[in-house]
Chain A
Amino acid sequence: MRFGGLTAVKDVSVEVKSGSITAVIGPNGAGKTTLFNAITGVYEPTEGRVLVAGRDPQRAWTPRVMFGVGATALSTAIFLAVLVRVETLWQSAIIDNYVFQKPFPWMKAIADFFSTFFGGGFFGTWLPLLVGALLGGAGRFVIWSRTRRTPDVIASAGVARTFQNIRLFPELSLVENVVVGMDRRLSTGFLGALFALPSALRERGKARQDALGLLKFVGLADRAETAAANLPYGHQRRLEIARALASKPAVILLDEPAAGMNPTETVDLMRLIRAIREAGTTVVLIEHHMRVVMGISDRIHVLQYGEKIAEGTPEEIRNDPRCIEAYLGKEELG
């Protein structure tokens, strides 16, 4: 991962076993959060790939995308060609055919429309069609190529995350926050929502129940209807975890979940993370609290200056001289 000339994370490869708890540690500025951002699509990695269960979650160049580009090109072309001569077309198809209070000759009007539409010569018809097709097709193509690996694509593939500096939806209630996280499992469409169809209402009720269950799981059920912004800091972190869990992810990435928590809360958090693993979700976390990291991790990866310096079980890391040096500094001799 490079930003301009600055290499923030270099050649870091982290393999996470399904159903394990993996920690990424390292001093400040080592590139841990950048690694998470590159994984979840907040940044586009300059090199390297992310595989989830062996597959690269990207929007592929499918026939559907191809059809979309073609359809956009065609409709933009027609739109532009109509737009540049809209008055002439209107005149020939509508005004010239309409006699007040006489039946309107629809077929003739349509025929006139097409004959005028294609009778504009190079500058009236074909140039606008060509420019429109190029504009529309290219625009749609660029949008596709730029949104191949956006966070929503990664999240849809089953990778959920929390943020180091909490990013909740502050004015929504706790339940609503969690239900937003559930979004990828819901199916209500526009019409269902507009007419409040029974299926939509049922889905809404079910989503709320599930959300309340998740809030209970993280221990916030009693405040379900307050606004998220009114929660104390430690609870906000737990709410963020509940929201991330709501999408039933395969992997959950926790960015410093214990930051700002007191010792009791930290112990609760460790219990919570273990419970998440028991429920079948793979956990990857960034953390500075060594008690948390050493207490729950199956494997630990250590980063420094954007490079991986060590990897192993908590026991190995604890005795690795390079890690001790990275964290505590070298003993000055003499």
Chain B
Amino acid sequence: MAERRFSFFTRGQCIVLALLAATPLLDLAFPSIQLSGPMRTVVVYAILALGLNVVVGWTGLLNLGIAAFMAIGAYAFGILTAEVYPFQVGFWWALLLSGAIGAFAGWLLGAPTLRLRGDYLAIVTLGFGEIVQDGLKNLQAITKGTEGINPLPKPTVPFGAAIQSGLEIVGIASAPAATKAAEGVVAASSNWFEISSATPARWFYLYLILLAVVIFFCRNLEFSRLGRQWFAVREDELAARCMAIEPDKAKLKAFAAGAALAAIAGALFASHLASTGEPANYDFQVSILALCIVIVGGIGSITGVVLGAIVMVGLSNVVLPALTQAMQRAGIGSTENVLSSPDNYKYLIFGLALVLMMRFRPDGIVHTRKAVKK
């Protein structure tokens, strides 16, 4: 490995991004599936798992409550944008602010607890996850309890209207008919930058661009001074201390960064659902799914984590429902018969995948750790 020059993405990261970018093309080939809607969840979970990866993969702290930060992000987004509250700051400001609120929450949880070691910290984060969920359920006046906050606005493209009118002046986007022919993938709309339920591919691509930005930031952190401090703390805390690194500060930064990413994932999730959903959407299962994504993908590797999200969430949210639908259409299975619906085999397949991974490839699909002879 020669000296690392500055580049936006590594080859592996380009490949996973290209892989994701290609999924709406499948909609073209098989119009009956409509992948780009459910694929947004994959992107959301990829961002969540990247946040968890900062904490678990790079700094070596077991965090079992990442879903709590996702919930905080989702509810912050909901409160900041919904019409039932006076703030209504719009998608982009709300996204940024919920990231900041998530980072603050992470800092708040981390400051008194990060001096705990290993399992004790895991228990604290586990408890925090439950507390947040119960809190959201019971603070009726603020969070609407189990109803969830809705409706939430769809994302908009910043300067989209201005660019659109610019294009129209140049004459590229004037005729709606031409737009229709050019797009094909998505339902016809004369505005290229409008995002709605009728234009799932655009919505998906917007999320994908956000994922690319997140990957870019993660990558910068990984090779920075801060990233090195995290690795040093993970490998040997005492040795890191003796090298004048303050592990508590490094851990706190990792915790806040991870929480911020999780909160952004939560905000995107809420926008995707057009509702925060009920607090039970952010339960322990979600934390464990995020942890599985990190472990299956390759702990510590950005490419691996995104790939893990594609495999795990793609399987549970895209492939299995599609398979169930197809089987129903063909008259093989039915929703009444639990055993004949592939959707219900989700956790069986997850468990099997984890066992097989641990047996045959314990470092995950992609491993970054420098080949250490064991």
Contact = CB atoms under 8 A, between A and B. Distances in A.
Interface of A: 40, 42, 79, 86-87, 90-91, 94-95, 97-98, 100-101, 104, 109, 139, 143, 147, 150-152, 155-156, 160-161, 163, 167-173, 176, 179-181, 183-184, 186, 188, 190, 192-196, 200-201, 203-205, 208, 225-227, 229-230, 243, 247
A172 B241 contact: no
A183 to B, nearest CB: 5
A194 B238 contact: no
A194 B239 CA distance: 25
A150 B258 CA distance: 27
Interface in B216-261: 217, 220-221, 223-229, 231-232, 235-236, 238-248, 253
B220 A169 contact: no
B373 to A, nearest CB: 6
Given A188-B225, A193-B225, A200-B225, A180 B112 contact: no
Contacts of A183: 225, 228-229, 232, 243-245
Contacts of B247: 152
Given A90-B141, A91-B141, A150-B241, A170 B372 contact: yes
Contact of B85 (A94, A160, A167, A193): A94
16 contacts: A42-B242, A91-B141, A151-B241, A151-B242, A152-B246, A169-B231, A170-B372, A171-B235, A173-B1, A181-B243, A188-B225, A194-B220, A194-B224, A196-B220, A205-B3, A230-B371
A284 B229 CA distance: 27
B235 A169 contact: yes
B86 interface: yes
Interface in B356-374: 369-373
A204 B139 contact: no
Interface of B: 1, 3, 6, 83-86, 108, 112, 115, 139-142, 217, 220-221, 223-229, 231-232, 235-236, 238-248, 253, 369-373
A interface, over-half SS? helix
A94 B139 contact: no
A247 B331 CA distance: 71
Nearest to B112: A139
A188 B224 contact: yes
Contacts of B226: 188, 190, 193
Contact of A94 (B3, B86, B235): B86
B225 A227 contact: no
B248 to A, nearest CB: 8
A168 B239 CA distance: 7
B228 A176 contact: yes
Contacts of B371: 227, 230
Given A183-B229, A193-B225, A227 B370 contact: yes
A179 B220 CA distance: 17
Looking at B1, B6, B220, B239, the one whose CB has the most chain A CB atoms below 10 A away is B239
A189 B219 CA distance: 15
A229 B217 contact: no
A196 B6 contact: yes
B244 A155 contact: yes
Contacts of A167: 236, 238-239
A298 B175 CA distance: 89
B78 to A, nearest CB: 14
Contacts of B241: 150-152, 155
Given A200-B224, A247-B243, A169 B142 contact: no
A184 B244 contact: yes
B53 to A, nearest CB: 15
Nearest to B139: A87
Contacts of B223: 204
Nearest to A200: B224
A172 B235 contact: yes
Given A186-B225, A190-B253, 11 more contacts: A42-B238, A87-B142, A101-B83, A151-B241, A161-B242, A169-B235, A171-B231, A172-B370, A183-B244, A226-B370, A229-B372
Given A188-B225, A195-B220, A200-B225, A169 B242 contact: no
A35 B289 CA distance: 48
A43 B238 CA distance: 12
Among B221, B225, B229, max chain A CB count under 10 A is at B225
Given A87-B141, A151-B241, A168-B236, A193 B246 contact: no
B228 A90 contact: no
Contacts of B228: 172, 176, 179-180, 183
A208 B2 CA distance: 11
A252 B115 CA distance: 28
